Structure 1
Amino acid sequence: MRLSTRVALAVVAVVPLLVLASGALLIRLVAADLHAQQDAHLRERAAAVAPDARALLRVTAADRPAAEQARSRKLFASALDVGIRLVGPDGTVEGGPLPAASVALPAAAPRPVTAGAGGTRWRVLSQPVAGPRKGVRGTLWVFSPDAATEAQLRRVRLRVLTVALLAAPLSGLLAWAAAGRAVRPLRRLQQRAGGLDPRVSAVRLEHTPTRLAEVDDLARTLQTVLSRYDEQAARTGEALATARSFAATASHELRNPLMSIGTNLDILARYPDLPGDDRAEVLEDLRAEHARVLGLLVMLRALAQGDLVEEDTFVPVDAGELVDAAAADLRRRHPGARVTVSTAPGLLVRGWEQGLRSMTDNLLTNALVHGSPASGPPAVEVVLRRSGDERAPAVVLTVDDHGPGVPPEARAAVFERFHHRPGSPGSGLGLTLVAQQIALHRGTVAVGDRPGGGPGARFEIRLPLSGVRGGEPTPTLPLLRRDWLSAQRRQEPQGFHKDAP
């Protein structure tokens, strides 16, 4: 059933009830007004005939028949249109319209009351009347038929019932027309929303305000739902693209190391008596290929996680603690390396802690592996500080090494996937992961020469400093590029300063 029909039926059911209820109240008010007018007339007539009633009691007590008749005529003439009954010690005198003897009257009626049942009703008023002599007292009753009031009330009831019967269909038709007009914008909205198909068109719901709050609110809700659907569909598409790219990249990049591992295993199986030196060389190749496969899978997994991370995983991260932990882990894995760290306390970055730690680990490992001096132990200097720009405060991380450096023409290419110099032990994904995390956190990276004129490279990372207001960190901007794993690989010239193993 349509909404307009429901509204019309509801109005048809409710309006007559409201009219009848209002009519009942109106009848009570009209009855009260009519009785008030009738009661005022009774009091007026009672006040007018009271002197004649007293005079009649006086002549009756004096036993003067002629005067008694004259006073009776005068009493009835003063009563006009009401009935009179004077009850005295010597009898009762009555005239005019009176209730039948069978009608029960109250013992006294100092205020007008209604008497009678079934047939004609009467408004009755009584008041005591005292004669000139002591002990001569009587009661004056004044009667007015209630027929006129009842007739008027019947006419009012009939009119209320007629209005109720006429109001039901008329109000139903008007309500149906008004409801149909009111829901017309809702029907147009339904038609526009029903015509949307995200599989064949990118058109989304357009709504012109109708000044109907419910329709406009529903349109905004639908637009919000469709926008969230588009976001989730896009995220699902990104996830599928990342999964496909992960499978394709892993299949492509793992083919050679797995074939090499298979060849070495065949050699060991075919020549069980292989000399010790040759056997050791084969085992060393197996270990290197195993490490390469493992490192590649770890890096691909990290890139996939970075492409799929959501902003609600961003939390305030202490950059100083993160850099100290990464440096300590690097010293543990490379005991002979010289790693110096200088950090400032209280530098908070709002971000994905796992991604920031992975970025720092790969940046330090890259400097250690590819930035070793020609002679002597590898050395890395790490400095974490706050930028001097107060308008855009940032955390600045610099990593200096003592290797051959990065030529200016190759500084952009080092962040591409699988880009590494010949003979590099890395997977070619470490600095790509660094670039991914910098982009996710709205940061910047610069590659240059190590200050001081000596050999080596400097990587300088800038990340926005997290501001804290009222205990709540300021939110980051929306995430940027999300296709570090699924994007097509650029064909760049091979450089020689790249990533971590």
Structure 2
Amino acid sequence: MRLSTRIALAVGVSVPLLVLASGWLLLHLVGDDLRAHQNSQLRARATVIAKNAKAFLDVAGTDRPVMEQARQRRLVNSARDVGIRLTAPGGTVSAGPRPDPLPSLPRNTPKPVTVTSDDTDWLVLSLRVGAAKAGTTPNLWLFSPDTTEEELALVRQRVVFGALVAAPLAGATTWAIAARAVLPLRRLQRRTSGLDPRTSTVRLEHTPTRIGEVDDLAYTLQTVLARYDEQVERTGEALATARAFAATASHELRTPLMSMRTNIDILADHPGLDPVDRAEVLDDLGREHSRLLGLLVMLRALAQGDLVEADAFTSLDLTEVLDASVSGLRRTHPDAEVSVRTTPGLLVHGWEEGLRSAVDNLLTNAWTHGRATDGTAHIEVTLRHSGDPRQPLAVLTVDDRGPGVPPERREEVFQRFRRGPDSPGSGLGLTLVAQQIALHRGRITVLDRPDGRPGTRFEVRLPVTGVRDVESTLPLLRRDWLTGHDAAADETTAPRGTSRGALRRRGPWPSRCSR
């Protein structure tokens, strides 16, 4: 059923009901007014008639017949539209319209009352006039036909007639108006019904109609189609990136696997291999296995960073995370010379496992690639407050004494599988670092050492919360590091248990150089 028809039916039903309800109220008000008017008229006539009746009673039964007849005539003339009944010494005087048969007349009714005679209602007023004394029965009655019900019946008929006429007229008029009012909606429906995002790139063109609901609906449809286009584009990009990643990952995995296969074939085909050569082959086999295992571990860590949930974030003391990472480096690499300067009490809202992994990889990268020319690994770690009260940040720097990173390659070091010619790593360590820093709304930058010595500085800036208990909100930038896609979390509060992969993406990913 069309909207205009629904509106017409609703109005066609509601208008008669409103007319009947208004008529019912009108009948009560009109009835009260009519009765009050008739009562006031009867009381006004009673004043004149009572005066003439008293004058008649003063001469009734005396030796003044001429005067008696004159005053009786005056009394009768004053009661032409009102019936009277007067009890006099010489008999009863009646005139005007009266109930027939005469009902039992009320006593002591200074206000008009209603009596019924032969299915006709009469207003009756009784008075004591002339020789009637206090305590005696009234000797004057006034009668007036009660026409209130007749007039109300006429009003009632007109109200019902008005309701019956109003129903079709209101329905038809409303249908015409509603059909005209929804015409912009029908035009919008015709324009949108022909749109098929799967087969055509044509999109909704809307000219403002100055009708709020229509314009809002059109803008909503345009937004939905735009988001559909955006999602289709991102899906295509994701598929392309996933294919590229799969090809790169398969190549990176194939190299150590082929090397391991070659070494296994050598061991299998030459059971009498020289012990020195055999040890070399086994050592190479172990290195390739470690490389393959490290590659798989890093891929798993990247996937964890993309799928972390909002409730995994809590208030962390960054100093404690840094101390744990430095202790782990000293434990696994006793030859590393690490100096640490920290400012305690710098709290961040973060994922502890992700931040620990990022710091671990920064320190491991400095130990691996930041050795001095004499082969020693000197690593200087500093954690301080930025000092900016408007945007408080925790600044973490990791300095090494290696050959450094050329400016033109500082963006590449965060890309997947980017390794130096002699790098023993998987090429995903700094990618993982960049992922976690971006996940925590931070920035990472590759710089030269500020003291002018050879080496590289990795500088990380993270927002400081300044409180220990932080609600689980996650307005964080993120990037799908397995598919290469950039995304931003919704800036509203994320529900507990919301997957990071399910958060809405926004905007292009900032340049790696900016971090």
The alignment's TM-score, normalised by the length of structure 2, stands at 0.79
The 10-residue stretch of structure 1 (319-328 or 223-232) with the greater mean CA deviation from structure 2: 223-232
Q: Equivalent residue of 1:346, what SS? A: coil
Q: Deviations over 1:134-164 (max 9, x none)?
A: 88763311111234x4554343333323322
| 1:446 partnered with 2:462 | no
| 1:92 partnered with 2:92 | yes
Equivalent in the alignment of 2:15: 15
CA drift of 1:362 comes to 1.5
- After superposition, the Cα gap between the structure-2 partners of 1:264 and 1:121, relative to the gap in structure 1 and judged at 3 Å, is same
CA contact (8 A) 1:122 1:145 kept: yes
- After superposition, the Cα gap between the structure-2 partners of 1:62 and 1:294, relative to the gap in structure 1 and judged at 3 Å, is farther
- After superposition, the Cα gap between the structure-2 partners of 1:184 and 1:355, relative to the gap in structure 1 and judged at 3 Å, is farther
Q: Which amino acid aligns with 1:434?
A: V
Q: Equivalent residue of 1:380, what SS? A: strand
CA drift of 1:10 comes to 1.4
Q: Which amino acid aligns with 2:20?
A: L
| 1:174 partnered with 2:176 | no
CA drift of 1:439 comes to 4.8
For structure 2, the residue ranges without an aligned partner over 5 or more in a row are: 486-515
| 1:31 partnered with 2:31 | yes
Equivalent in the alignment of 1:342: 341
Equivalent in the alignment of 2:285: 286
The 10-residue stretch of structure 1 (462-471 or 113-122) with the greater mean CA deviation from structure 2: 462-471
Measure, in 2, the Cα distance between the counterparts of 1:193 and 1:313. 43
Task: State the number of aligned residues.
Answer: 484
Equivalent in the alignment of 1:495: none
Say which of 459, 472, 475 aligns to 2:457: 459
- After superposition, the Cα gap between the structure-2 partners of 1:136 and 1:378, relative to the gap in structure 1 and judged at 3 Å, is closer
Task: State how 1:238-387 maps to structure 2 within 5 Å.
Answer: 240=239, 243-272=242-271, 274-306=273-305, 317-350=316-349, 353-375=352-374, 377-387=376-386
| 1:127 partnered with 2:127 | yes
CA drift of 1:176 comes to 0.8
CA drift of 1:366 comes to 0.9
| 1:139 partnered with 2:139 | yes
Equivalent in the alignment of 1:432: 431
CA contact (8 A) 2:132 2:138 kept: no
For structure 1, the residue ranges without an aligned partner over 5 or more in a row are: 488-501
CA drift of 1:356 comes to 3.3
CA contact (8 A) 1:241 1:486 kept: no
Equivalent in the alignment of 1:50: 50
Q: Equivalent residue of 1:138, what SS? A: coil
Measure, in 1, the Cα distance between the counterparts of 2:338 and 2:164. 97
CA drift of 1:31 comes to 2.7
- After superposition, the Cα gap between the structure-2 partners of 1:59 and 1:365, relative to the gap in structure 1 and judged at 3 Å, is same
Measure, in 1, the Cα distance between the counterparts of 2:93 and 2:106. 18
Q: Which amino acid aligns with 1:462?
A: V
- After superposition, the Cα gap between the structure-2 partners of 1:210 and 1:282, relative to the gap in structure 1 and judged at 3 Å, is same
Q: Deviations over 1:171-190 (max 9, x none)?
A: 11111122223333433444
Q: Which amino acid aligns with 2:425?
A: G
CA contact (8 A) 2:238 2:483 kept: no
CA contact (8 A) 1:242 1:307 kept: no
Q: Deviations over 1:464-496 (max 9, x none)?
A: 433569986898876376567548xxxxxxxxx
Equivalent in the alignment of 1:110: 110
Q: Which amino acid aligns with 1:357?
A: R
| RMSD, matched Cα | 3.9
CA contact (8 A) 1:326 1:357 kept: yes
CA drift of 1:86 comes to 2.0
Q: Equivalent residue of 1:462, what SS? A: strand
Equivalent in the alignment of 2:422: 423
Q: Equivalent residue of 1:121, what SS? A: strand
Measure, in 2, the Cα distance between the counterparts of 1:353 and 1:27. 80
CA contact (8 A) 2:83 2:144 kept: yes
The 10-residue stretch of structure 1 (416-425 or 209-218) with the greater mean CA deviation from structure 2: 209-218
CA drift of 1:36 comes to 2.2
CA contact (8 A) 1:49 1:78 kept: yes
Measure, in 1, the Cα distance between the counterparts of 2:304 and 2:340. 28
CA contact (8 A) 1:300 1:485 kept: no
Q: Deviations over 1:289-311 (max 9, x none)?
A: 11111111222333455566788
- After superposition, the Cα gap between the structure-2 partners of 1:178 and 1:105, relative to the gap in structure 1 and judged at 3 Å, is farther
CA contact (8 A) 1:115 1:124 kept: yes
The 10-residue stretch of structure 1 (384-393 or 14-23) with the greater mean CA deviation from structure 2: 384-393
Q: Equivalent residue of 2:128, what SS? A: strand
Measure, in 2, the Cα distance between the counterparts of 1:208 and 1:50. 83
CA drift of 1:42 comes to 0.8
Q: Equivalent residue of 2:139, what SS? A: strand
CA contact (8 A) 1:89 1:138 kept: no
Measure, in 2, the Cα distance between the counterparts of 1:138 and 1:109. 9
CA contact (8 A) 1:383 1:399 kept: yes
- After superposition, the Cα gap between the structure-2 partners of 1:448 and 1:353, relative to the gap in structure 1 and judged at 3 Å, is same
- After superposition, the Cα gap between the structure-2 partners of 1:449 and 1:146, relative to the gap in structure 1 and judged at 3 Å, is closer
Q: Which amino acid aligns with 1:447?
A: L
Measure, in 1, the Cα distance between the counterparts of 2:228 and 2:302. 25
Measure, in 2, the Cα distance between the counterparts of 1:353 and 1:243. 28
CA contact (8 A) 1:323 1:360 kept: yes
Q: Equivalent residue of 1:422, what SS? A: coil
The alignment's TM-score, normalised by the length of structure 1, stands at 0.81
- After superposition, the Cα gap between the structure-2 partners of 1:189 and 1:108, relative to the gap in structure 1 and judged at 3 Å, is farther
- After superposition, the Cα gap between the structure-2 partners of 1:58 and 1:86, relative to the gap in structure 1 and judged at 3 Å, is same
Measure, in 2, the Cα distance between the counterparts of 1:283 and 1:239. 40
- Identity score, percent: 59
Equivalent in the alignment of 2:477: 479
CA drift of 1:59 comes to 4.7
